[in-house]
Each structure stands twice: as C-alpha cells, then as structure tokens.
Amino acid sequence: MNKNVQLKDLGLKDYKQVWDFQTELLDEIISVKRDNRKNSVQNATSNHFIFVEHPHVYTLGKSGDLSNLLLNEEQLKQKGAVFYKINRGGDITYHGPGQIVGYPILDLENFFTDIHKYLRFLEEVIIQTLAEYGISGSRSKGETGVWLDVGTPFARKICAMGIRSSRWVTMHGFALNANANLGYFDNIIPCGIRGKAVTSMEAELGKKVDLGEVKEKILFHFKNIFEVESFIL
C-alpha cells in the first residue's frame, strides 16, 4: 500500500479547471487499478492532496435542490460569481477567496475502505486544526461538515464537505471558511439546511488568519490521522 501523498497548492484557480484536474487524477488512479486486476499485477496507485482557492462560485451536488440557489443568471453575473452542478454528494455551497479548499484524491485501498470513516477523519482533521486557534469545532448528527455550538440556537457551520468516490478513489473534499466573505452565503440556503448560520475563523477570532499557517496545521493533522508516510511536493 502506498501511503505517500503528492501535494499541490494551486493558489487561486478557476473551479472548472480544478474539477477537470481532479477528474484526470482520479481516472489515472482507476486506470492503474483496472490494469492491476486485468493483468494480476500490483502496481502502486498514487494519492494526491490539492489546496486551492476559487474565484466566487456556487456548486450544487448531484442530489441537491436548485431552489437553494437564490440568484438567477443575471444576479450571478452582478455578484461576479458562476454556478456549476457537479458530481459530489451534498447540496449547494459557496467557494471564494479567503476560503481554504482541500481536495484529497486518495485510493482508499491504500488506507481503509470505509467512506463513512473517511468523512469522519476529514472532519477530525478540521476539528483538530480549529482547536489550535481556540475554536471548538464539532460534528452535527446527520449533517456532514464541522460546526460550532451544535445543539444550541447559535449553531453555525465553519467547514463544508462533499465528496465523490469511484472504485474507492475519492475526489472533491472540504471548504474551510478561514477569511471568506460570508456575505456570499446569503445568496444560497447553505447545504440545503434552513435556519442555521455560517461562520469563519476570521469572524470567530475577530481577525484574519494566516492561510499558509492554517494549511500547515491541516497537513500536520491529516498526516497523523490518515497515517500518511510523507507529502511529496
């Protein structure tokens, strides 16, 4: 099993370009797995972790409800945003500058074959990262992602998650609101969940956070929780 992970930080990059890039990586891994089965060989499959920020974009998961987007095409243009219906799980979410988006493209057969466990591990990475800033993140039953003040009238989401997997290979991932402009969430019903707010690290701490530092902490906890051998630049 290959537990090395190739790391790429793409900076600010168009959503569709990165979606296509993820798909290429996933298809390459699946091609190796098919070849292994067909020819009874055991060539190692690769794993990848992509960091990126996106220009303003709304994405709707395959089972999502389009009515949760509260803007029409002209209003999207006025906001400088675009919209895509995509192939991950979950409903609607927003990505934009100041948000840390992470896309692990992993062959889970290198780690463990359990999608539920994979999502809980991703949540734990963010929970432990937030704890380093004195922010107490937690899970909300039946609602994937990381939340604050669960079970109170002030419950608010700080990190959204949505994935796709094929032949145990993952794509898409998480979006942590670090310094994101939360006003853009007013144009959707985030994740299709009414009556719950969205927050950011900046809003909770009263100051902007260093995105590079947060990414380093995410990688530290990801490496420990997933028992990654090393990140390869």
Binding region for substrate: 88-95, 160-162, 173-175
- Among this protein's residues, is 191 annotated catalytic? yes
d(CA 53, CA 47): 20
Report whether 110 contacts 42 (CB < 8 A): no
Report whether 138 contacts 76 (CB < 8 A): no
Using DSSP's 3-state secondary structure scheme, residue 30 falls into helix
CA angle 160, 134, 94 (to 5 degrees): 20
Spot the catalytic one: 18, 188, 191, 228: 191
d(CA 82, CA 198): 20
Q: Measured between alpha carbons, how far is residue 105 from residues 51, 69, 162, 194 in Å?
A: 11, 28, 13, 30
Residues designated catalytic: 191
